Chains A and B, each alone.
Chain A
Amino acid sequence: MTAHFYLDGREIPFQPGQNVLEALLAMGRDRDVPYFCYHPALGSLGACRQCAVKLYPHDDKHPPRVMMACLLPASAGLQLVTAESDVRREHAAISELLMRNHPHDCPICDEGGQCHLQDMTVRAGHRLRHYENAKRTFRSQQLGPLIRQEMNRCITCYRCVRFYQDIAGGEDFGVFGSRDRVFFGRLHDGPLESPFAGNLAEVCPTGVFTDKVYHASYLRPWDLETAASICPHCNLGCNTAPGAARGRLRRVRQRHHPDINPYFLCDRGRYGFRHVVHRRRPWRHRLRSREIERDEALDRLTDLLRQGETGFLGSPRADVQDNLAWLALADAYGAPFAAFSDPWQEALAREILALPQAPSLRQLGEAERILILGQALEISPSLRLPVQAALRRGAQLTLASVLPTALDRYGELRRLRPDGYVDAAGDWCRALPSGKRGVILASADALGPAGVHVLRRLQEDLPPGTGVVVAHRAPNLGGAAFFATDGQSQRLREAIRVGRCRHLLALAADPLGEDGDAPFWRQRSSALRISLLDCLPTTTLEAAELQLPMAAVAEREGVFLNYEGRFQAFARVYRPAQYHPHWDPSRSTFPLPAGGMREELALWEPRDLAEALAQRGGRLESFHQRLEFYRHYLCPELPGPGDPGSFIPDALRARFRIGIVPVPHSGTGRWWLSAFHWYGDEAQARFAGELQSLAPVAGVRLAPGQTQAQAMLLTSRDGQTRRYPIVEVAGMAADVLALPPSDLSDLGYHPGERIDALEESAP
């Protein structure tokens, strides 16, 4: 029997600790009481005075009084009324005050149609403004390429600054002024620095902060189709709700998941989707840059497969079922398959999958001791919100990294060289008081396979409740690690090296670019023909002989396995389409109500392509057999889109704990190499223009005073020299060169290895 209070005579159940407004919202009754400043993640403030209810006390001493529902703790038997005239008058009067300075620009405001203020003003019944003076105006600021500010619309609910400073830990945005000059913004114009700036558009109950990227291809939210999707930009697997209309993806918003991303999404997840409209994205089948028909491409591939010289390459960027289909097709043709083009990455993925189940982000927010190894928060920015939540609860933070990180001033700092991570983790584990919940957040690149292996050994000795979260940029790293158990990558490379494979059928992989070891593939690119199915204009795509257009994440269905080992399914949101002003009855497309037609572009879902190839090769039966077998073995029960997800069984996880122990090889050289990450750096987000305009300057990063040179010349594993301008970073560890992961891959080195460099002095 749950406790109840009464609102207008109706029973409202509540949980202990809830306030009246929360209980009403939990019931889905957001129309009973209007509200502004309350937000489930930000809590109650009582600033807007809008959620008034009238309380009838049970004793005779106190008269009935009007109180704010968000500040009134729910208690059993509370008698509340909103249907009386004085409460209604209060709602309408507050609405009028809030609207006093609000411009009448709903028709040109992006928030129109999803505006809390619009809804609540209509709900509260305010129609006419009695105040006759001019409305106050501000000069709005330019806040960069992602967020647009129109300060005149502000109703001073303080949600933005509460989110930006308290939840996201941003420092470059605040509140200025007094009385009705209260202004929310930066001290000077300029892009917002926080990787969570995009949430301002969602947090703001009106149109002060709107999404600039959405604005560029704006359609009203009521026109957008949406479906449950999963963010493809790192291995956290945040839940998203992309919005598309008329054959174009227009925005991505967060979707509530209680354990992963309850309310917010990082900017990489929010704006990384723009890679689907990159101007060099492959839309058609191309053979040596000549456009060909789909059938011709299939015939050609079938011929190549029949010759029996094909190797199959999957990718941690493709989802579980697509990799399975690739594996089944490879099996049907008796060809080698690997999900990684780089054995180092493969070993890393295997070690990460072999870790015990990681804590969810909600559990991370309840941790009492946190160790951050490397730039984990830059690889997976959304890790930062639960860390900040834990810090607010009094958690102790230790940071061990080569480069300065965003949370440096919140914790105990340890600068180290790339070989020091394991020792730092060991020290922290030994110092962990018993009974405290500790969590290690590690950057996969910083630790490498050997480091993750040691971390697993360390964790075995720690008390239960301690977990390890390894951040990686590939959305389906765990799913690709299914196919990483016994050196498949090395075997595929061996087959190519000896010339047994002369054709590579790759799925969303970038071996020549940033998959980890470009020199190996560059050296063999003349003898190796590559057919690539991808939706990104990567280096490999340009070098590929046959280009096949692939559907991006929001354009296909699939399942990702996130860092916890949680399967999460995503649904197709839309199909890319092209508008033709005249309807052509010979096409199988209906005319649009408003004239013309919208023809869908033919993009491959990898499973369909694998099936089509198996059918043409006459191996459909064995393809289906193998596919069913693997699916039954690896993921017998997959969740549907929108489900909270299901975990891989521990028994299956244990099978990936095999005997191979990765050994670190650092080599020799003057400098240690480390990866430098920033929050927009990921294979797909790298093609999102707006996000990339915020990228930090390119170059090699090192501590100040290490060299007088202007630039560094580094030699790749295949003997090519690359020039990197020097960027000095204060507070960085000495003797370390930090490069973006794509540059490291281009050189063929991995983080934690050593390298010699030529210094280029000023002329």
Chain B
Amino acid sequence: MRLGLRAWVLGFWTTLRQLGRWPVTLSYPEEQPQIAPRWRGRPVLTRDPDGDERCVACELCSAVCPTHCIELEGDDRPDGRRYARAFRINFSRCIYCGLCEEACPTLAIQLLDEFAFGKERRADFVYPKEALLIDGPGKHPHYRYYDHAGVRIEAATAVPAAAAPLDPLDNRP
């Protein structure tokens, strides 16, 4: 009996407590909501601070994707850098789980705050690479994968002296 009363009082209290507050309802779409920075919205492909594509086509995102909605194929640029020749995401299958972002070793694929987008035809949900690629570095403004990879590409800046290539024919101790 006492338990029932307690629940009754608590319930009314919860309701009455809202009386003095502003309503949380937004008149969307005229009013746009504040999206948290870690919101998992639509995935995009970002660029590194130099403006080069970050994606190196390692295929981890497509491997981890639970709905298999990512498909890509890699290729080599003339300067030795790897990039995705074709990259597409089918957003009519994407569940915005963010596993691709977690898997991405180069921080290329990032889930930004775009959360609602509609199309008239299902085929329009298949975004090719040109539609996915954005112009900026996204959430990680300073990260450059090739600074950490330990491979040289022609376009990269000078390598520090200690890491200059060794000569295997040099027999000095």
Encode contact with B along A155-199: 1 for CB under 8 Å, 0 otherwise. Answer: 000000000000000000000111111110100000000000000
Binds B, one of A49-57, A98-106, A299-307, A308-316: A98-106
> Is A107 a contact partner of B123 (Cβ separation < 8 A)?
no
CA distance A141 to B93 in the complex (A): 44
Nearest chain B residue, comparing its CB with the CB of A181: B166
> Is B163 a contact partner of A223 (Cβ separation < 8 A)?
no
Encode contact with A along B45-89: 1 for CB under 8 Å, 0 otherwise. Answer: 000000000001011101100011111011010000010000011
Query: A134 an interface residue at 8 Å Cβ cutoff?
Result: yes
Query: B99 an interface residue at 8 Å Cβ cutoff?
Result: no
CA distance A583 to B145 in the complex (A): 36
| Residue from B60, B152, B163, B166 whose CB has the most chain A CB atoms within 10 Å | B166
CA distance A134 to B164 in the complex (A): 9
Interface of chain A: mostly helix, strand, loop or mixed = loop
> Is B149 a contact partner of A104 (Cβ separation < 8 A)?
yes
A594/B82 contact (C-beta < 8 A), A104-B148, A104-B150, A177-B169 known: no
A contact residues around B149 at 8 Å (CB):
103-105, 107-108
Encode contact with A along B156-170: 1 for CB under 8 Å, 0 otherwise. Answer: 000110111111111
A contact residues around B60 at 8 Å (CB):
107
A-B pairs with beta carbons under 8 Å apart, 26 shown? A103-B149, A104-B148, A104-B149, A105-B150, A106-B58, A107-B56, A107-B106, A108-B151, A112-B58, A134-B162, A134-B163, A139-B165, A152-B150, A177-B169, A178-B173, A182-B168, A183-B166, A219-B59, A220-B63, A223-B62, A223-B63, A581-B126, A593-B69, A593-B93, A595-B88, A595-B90
Encode contact with B along A696-731: 1 for CB under 8 Å, 0 otherwise. Answer: 000000000000000000000000000000000000
Interface size class on chain A is 35 or more
CA distance A111 to B98 in the complex (A): 26
CA distance A222 to B145 in the complex (A): 24
> Is A592 a contact partner of B152 (Cβ separation < 8 A)?
no
A contact residues around B162 at 8 Å (CB):
133-134
Query: A590 an interface residue at 8 Å Cβ cutoff?
Result: no
Query: B15 an interface residue at 8 Å Cβ cutoff?
Result: no
| Residue from A219, A594, A596 whose CB has the most chain B CB atoms within 10 Å | A594
Nearest chain A residue, comparing its CB with the CB of B76: A215
In the assembled complex, the CB of B166 is this many whole angstroms from the nearest CB of chain A, namely 5
CA distance A582 to B148 in the complex (A): 39
Binding site for A on B (CB under 8 A): 56, 58-60, 62-63, 67-71, 73-74, 76, 82, 88-90, 93, 105-106, 123, 125-126, 145, 148-152, 159-160, 162-171, 173
User: Of B71, B106, B150, which one neighbours A594 at CB under 8 angstroms?
Assistant: B71
CB contacts under 8 Å to B, within A99-151, are 102-108, 112, 133-139, 150
Nearest chain B residue, comparing its CB with the CB of A582: B123
> Is A108 a contact partner of B56 (Cβ separation < 8 A)?
yes
Total of A-B residue pairs, C-beta within 8 Å: 108
In the assembled complex, the CB of B151 is this many whole angstroms from the nearest CB of chain A, namely 5
> Is A181 a contact partner of B170 (Cβ separation < 8 A)?
yes
CA distance A251 to B25 in the complex (A): 57
> Is A176 a contact partner of B168 (Cβ separation < 8 A)?
yes
CA distance A136 to B90 in the complex (A): 43
In the assembled complex, the CB of A502 is this many whole angstroms from the nearest CB of chain B, namely 48
Query: A218 an interface residue at 8 Å Cβ cutoff?
Result: yes
User: Of B56, B71, B123, B148, which one neighbours A583 at CB under 8 angstroms?
Assistant: B123
Other A-B contacts than A108-B82, A220-B63, 9 sampled, CB-CB below 8 A, are A105-B150, A107-B60, A135-B150, A136-B163, A218-B73, A223-B62, A595-B88, A595-B90, A595-B125
In the assembled complex, the CB of B12 is this many whole angstroms from the nearest CB of chain A, namely 50
In the assembled complex, the CB of B83 is this many whole angstroms from the nearest CB of chain A, namely 10
B contact residues around A103 at 8 Å (CB):
149-151
Nearest chain A residue, comparing its CB with the CB of B149: A105
Nearest chain A residue, comparing its CB with the CB of B124: A595
In the assembled complex, the CB of A74 is this many whole angstroms from the nearest CB of chain B, namely 38
Nearest chain B residue, comparing its CB with the CB of A180: B166
Nearest chain A residue, comparing its CB with the CB of B82: A108
B contact residues around A152 at 8 Å (CB):
150-151
CA distance A159 to B59 in the complex (A): 28
B contact residues around A218 at 8 Å (CB):
73-74
A593/B168 contact (C-beta < 8 A), A135-B150, A179-B173 known: no
CB contacts under 8 Å to B, within A193-250, are 215, 218-220, 222-223
User: Of B67, B73, B159, B160, which one neighbours A219 at CB under 8 angstroms?
Assistant: B73
In the assembled complex, the CB of B80 is this many whole angstroms from the nearest CB of chain A, namely 9
> Is B168 a contact partner of A183 (Cβ separation < 8 A)?
yes
CA distance A158 to B71 in the complex (A): 37
A contact residues around B68 at 8 Å (CB):
593-594
- Give the 6 A-B CB pairs with smallest separation, nearest first: A103-B150, A595-B126, A183-B168, A107-B58, A594-B71, A177-B168
CA distance A220 to B169 in the complex (A): 35
Nearest chain B residue, comparing its CB with the CB of A187: B169
CA distance A218 to B149 in the complex (A): 20
B contact residues around A135 at 8 Å (CB):
150, 163
B contact residues around A138 at 8 Å (CB):
165-166, 168
